[in-house]
Chains A and B, each alone.
Chain A
Amino acid sequence: DAGVIQSPRHEVTEMGQEVTLRCKPISGHDYLFWYRQTMMRGLELLIYFNNNVPIDDSGMPEDRFSAKMPNASFSTLKIQPSEPRDSAVYFCASRPPGGRREQFFGPGTRLTVL
């Protein structure tokens, strides 16, 4: 059974360019989370969805960041325009319905903005 799938695994771009990160959650999971991880700030929650609806985006750093979940099997995190300080590893995670609170993480996308 496939886990959470993220693409690309690595992205190198120049400042000012648009970056789109993609995530396919585990089938049947109704929660989807986007995180950013850096050495300085650790693992930060950016936004999460429940049944494709954004519930809390208070962790999104600024208007340059946006996330969508058009259907239960796909989500995107977009940065436009990108800046060097956006360099980080971005993780997507999904969680099954019910009382079990385990999150299943994807392998992450390592973003480098030059």
Chain B
Amino acid sequence: ETGVTQTPRHLVMGMTNKKSLKCEQHLGHNAMYWYKQSAKKPLELMFVYNFKEQTENNSVPSRFSPECPNSSHLFLHLHTLQPEDSALYLCASSQAEQARGYTFGSGTRLTVV
């Protein structure tokens, strides 16, 4: 399988639940990203991993916890979320410093109830 794969596609969770989003890329890229896309708002960069090292955390609340065990996998661990965290969470990857652009996954539609 090629490209960037995100699972699950849809997730409904209560505010006290703990869940994880998974992202996997088979493109040989060395950088991976989490973005949040809310209705009527620009794309928000959440986290960046370059060669498995976290290189950016854009003031994201601690209820979001990223994990990058290797250059092909990226997780976003969720706990005690708020209703305003409901959004489309997009994973992307790129070959850093080559300006080829990002390859995005299809996203996980998260609803917090």
Are A and B genuine complex partners? no
Binding site for A on B (CB under 8 A): none
Binding site for B on A (CB under 8 A): none
